[in-house]
Amino acid sequence: MGRLERFRRLRFLRRSARTRLLFHELTPVGDSSGQAIHQAIHTLSESDPLVKLLQEVKLGRMKPSDPGLRAITESWIDTYTKVLDTSGLDRTALARLDPSPRLAVLIEAGVLPAEHPGVASLRVAFRKALSGAHQV
């Protein structure tokens, strides 16, 4: 259903006495999931060390072992784990939240060791969320 068609149906429903009964027709199934994935991505991007701090490491202005960078990275891992635990997303949405690429960049840059407990716990949390998610 196109955007214009939804607008027309919404306008019709506003005038209709059956608004409550027909409103479900205007709410696509994916909307709540789409909103949840956008909220999850927004939450993760607020604490993401890759956006600003990894560039500082690459330019040599900050060392990968810097305590501040380590604290931000560990906070990001905790936030990521919480998002995965509480999001209730389907498999398709969770695939967009796969932490492996970001972890690989952090490990490659030397910010996190591959055997860091947070890395392992985040990967386990992702697999757990993926296995418990419903199929779309």
| Domain edges within the chain | 31-132
Alpha helices for the chain (secondary structure H) = 3-15, 19-26, 30-46, 49-58, 67-86, 91-96, 100-108, 117-132
Would you state the pLDDT for residue 8?
A: 62
Would you state the pLDDT for residue 48?
A: 78
Q: What tokens does 92 get? A: 């398709």
Would you state the pLDDT for residue 100?
A: 92
Ordered mean pLDDT values, 10 residues apiece, the chain (136 residues): 62 48 41 74 80 83 88 90 82 86 90 92 92 71
Would you state the pLDDT for residue 44?
A: 83
pTM here? 0.68
Would you state the pLDDT for residue 20?
A: 41
Would you state the pLDDT for residue 127?
A: 92
Collapsing DSSP to helix, strand or coil, 40 comes out as helix
Would you state the pLDDT for residue 115?
A: 93
Would you state the pLDDT for residue 31?
A: 54
Would you state the pLDDT for residue 89?
A: 79
What count of Cα atoms within 13 Å lies in the side-chain half-sphere of residue 57? Answer: 23
